[in-house]
Amino acid sequence: MTIRSKTSAAILLLTLAHAAGAADLVEKSASSTNLRTFTAALKASGLDDSLKSGGPYTIFAPEDGAFSRLPAGSWDALYKDKAKLAAVLSHHIVQGRMLVAEVKPGKASTLQGAPVTLKSDNGKVTVDQANVIESDVAADNGVIHVIDTVVMP
């Protein structure tokens, strides 16, 4: 095997390895064990298509337990109303890629339109009343930060 063919083979292997490891925001969310409800809600609302190809986005995704802490009956009602569900989920998404170390205190516009208030204090980051409990889950078209509360617009 010549040097040229070895180099071509190495480049091909690296390209295939990168493609196999590549994941969009929806795939990353779906592969997380604590974002099953959020992922199902993205699909039910129709937002999953936008988050597969667009971006970059920063998602503050509520972990599964956050949905169970909503007032009784409110999650079921929200899940049945696609427009309201999309509005609530869009309130958790900010345009652009923002790692947790890059969070600046202040307001950030969400895709839903209403801003969220971001705070960063000695490594502790909050979004409105929600705490970031897992950060910087990288995807090809953005980043996910897992939060402990559903943030309502």
Q: What is the CATH number of the domain that holds 47?
A: 2.30.180.10
95-117 exposure pattern, b = at least 16 Cβ within 10 A, e = fewer? eeebebeebeeeebebbbeeebe
In a domain, 3, yes or no: no
Q: How confident is the model at residue 70 (pLDDT cuts 50, 70, 90)?
A: very high
| Predicted pLDDT at 26 | 95
Residue 71 phi, psi dihedral angles, 5° rounding? -55, 145
Task: Using the structure block, give the residue that is written with the tokens 């049945």.
Answer: 80
Separation CA 139–CA 93 (nearest Å) = 14
In a domain, 107, yes or no: yes
Q: Are 100 and 132 spatial neighbours (Cβ–Cβ below 8 Å)? A: yes
- At a CB cut-off of 8 Å and minimum separation 6, what does 89 contact? 38, 41, 42, 45, 47
| Predicted pLDDT at 22 | 64
pLDDT > 90? residue 84: yes
In a domain, 80, yes or no: yes
In a domain, 17, yes or no: no
In a domain, 47, yes or no: yes
In a domain, 9, yes or no: no
Task: Using the structure block, give the residue that is written with the tokens 């999309």.
Answer: 86
Q: How confident is the model at residue 64 (pLDDT cuts 50, 70, 90)?
A: very high
Per the document, the length of the chain is 153
In a domain, 1, yes or no: no
Q: What DSSP character marks residue 23?
A: -
In a domain, 121, yes or no: yes
Query: What is the model's pTM?
Result: 0.84
User: Looking at the 3D structure of the chain, how many domains does it have?
Assistant: 1
Q: How confident is the model at residue 54 (pLDDT cuts 50, 70, 90)?
A: confident
pLDDT > 60? residue 10: no
pLDDT > 70? residue 57: yes
| Parent domain of 95 | 23-147
* E strands present in 11-65: 57-62
Per-residue pLDDT tens for 25-53?
999 999 999 999 999 999 999 999 989 98
Strand partners, 85: none
